[in-house]
Chains A and B, each alone.
Chain A
Amino acid sequence: MRLDEQTRGDFPILARTVNGHPLVYLDSAASSQKPRAVLEAMDQYYTTSHANVHRSIHTLGEEATELYEAARDRVQRFIGAASREEVVFTRGTTDGINLVAEALGRALRPGDEILITDMEHHSNIVPWQMAARDRRVRVRSIPLTGDGLLDLEAFDRMLSERTKVVAFTHVSNVLGTITPVAQLCRRARAAGAVTVIDGAQAAPHLPLDMSALGCDFYVFSSHKMLGPTGIGVLWARRAVLDALEPTRGGGEMIKEVWIDRARWNDLPWRFEPGTPPIAEAVGLMAAIAYLEKLGMERVAEHEGALARATVEQLAAIPGVIVYGPRAGVPRGAVVAFSVDGLHPHDVAALLDQQGIAVRAGHHCAQPLMRWCGVVGTARASFSLYNSSEEVALLSHALASLRTGL
């Protein structure tokens, strides 16, 4: 059975109509929809077990703590982390990158360099600008080749003993480009730089194995991988995390507090001050269970096939331009495109009239938009519940769009 046929019924929202048409949800790269299992797990948690975690010596508190920490174990297995201490819960990818940038930033010295790439999301650009600010640290960006891949020769030229951090995306949220993480991390490590990977678009789409990637930090969000909003994961190698000074203080991240000082808690709680997103962790755990039951290889294959079909069909429509790696090059589950003579927002609004939800705008990647030579693009993105019929609906709609405005 096709993956979409198998899973579609698990997503209640997909049964609704939009503007009189069945919903065709092609915006999962922005945020995916949630299966009933996730909604029920969170509902069950709030209905039966909610209390604050960790220091509540009563039954509910113990149940909540058990669930929260079980979610951590589940994440550890899902991403192939060496130990549960390496898994820190954050509020999301943006929060995770900010945490790392702030903490690493403190150790940066004048003349140091941070390397990013021309295809980063703003959340993997701005935190580094902030870390560099006032420290006379330079943020440099690795350019792209003509077909939207990282220019590895340029990377080698830019990498030097001044490079302290290399931060880049695993899968581009616009081009769909999959970066050679292991290869880049090997070179960065040889140069003495720490690597930070934005996995927001990879975690929902690809099987992950931290031990094979060879990076130092890896961050992703729950809400793009069938889980709830408000929680994300920061993974870091144990040794790296152990050496990192926490930048956010509060309850739970300490062992002992005096008026003038404090002693930090063990990993991973050292980086989780305050009440964590408990119900969200329970939801994320259910989302991972759901994905694992299907198998991430199968998910990647299904979504990859949809993206390939979209590239093929859209490229054949006169006036439609498709961005990103050429056909045959593996890509993530996103396809950015533009329609000649139509602004991307108008394209999205016209498609919405037919119940088709796509993203339009700069996708929080303005430097990349400049590289593409446009203000913005439209973007279709896929999850396991999308079907080839929906791809066909999109291309039919686009083919007839130019009469619509």
Chain B
Amino acid sequence: MLFQRSANTVALAAALCAACTVAFADDSKYPEWRGQWRRPPGIGIQWDPTKALGPPQQAPLTPEYQKVFEASMADQRAGGQGGDPTYTCIPPGMPRAMTVVFPMDIIILPEATYIIIEYSNQVRRIYTDGRDWPKDAEPAFLGYSVGKWVDEDGDGKYDVLEVETRGMKGPRSFDASGLPLHVDNDTVVKERIYLDKSNRDVLIDEVTTLDKALTRPWTVTKKYVREKKNVIWFEYNCTENNRHVQIGKDNYYVSADGFLMPVRKGQGPPDLKYFKDAQQ
């Protein structure tokens, strides 16, 4: 329901774009966000960077989702992966992608801002061409993002990008502890992205998550620091040498010598009945 608006705008934008010339953002109107952005030194990969991972996050979870969270942490203590779905190389999706585990690159074009995260194929397209929500877009881990540039200080140059993201699919969690989002995937993420006025090499993202796993909208502020020297981009393909294997509902590990291993004490081997069937 949240995701039902006219698709005509998208079609019109596409038709117009086919006829347009290549467009660079006018630097006199748009902020300078080029470069490589990283988490500040010492900042981990938890959701609220000002608090420790797990219960100290003080997530405003409903009682139902508090239990889901506690079960995740209990499973992780026993050697499992809990509610962190990324171990099979499912992407973190939104809003977790904005933790920026690996560095990101931002391209500002008049019609869209691209956030390219150095992990798998995580590229956010934030449309700033005035379009409405499409009614027929496939749900995505990263969702569908519509943004609006704002000139807050009235100096004739945009300084804040306000973004709303909807249309997500799951499973997703806020961080590696399995801090959950609702399984209905009706998450709405609102962001305000801007440069720190006192340090133009610090980018701030105020992220507000509205989700039925939460009792209220939850706002955290992420900071990113611009790398200025020797920018190097790596290729981080999660699927390369991923030793985690999910068989049915159980997860296992492939040892260095190539054998299946249990990850928990007392974990049984997978059911191999189809091999018996094939050999009969």
Do A and B share a complex? no
Which residues of A are in contact with B by a Cβ distance under 8 Å?
Answer: none
Which residues of B are in contact with A by a Cβ distance under 8 Å?
Answer: none
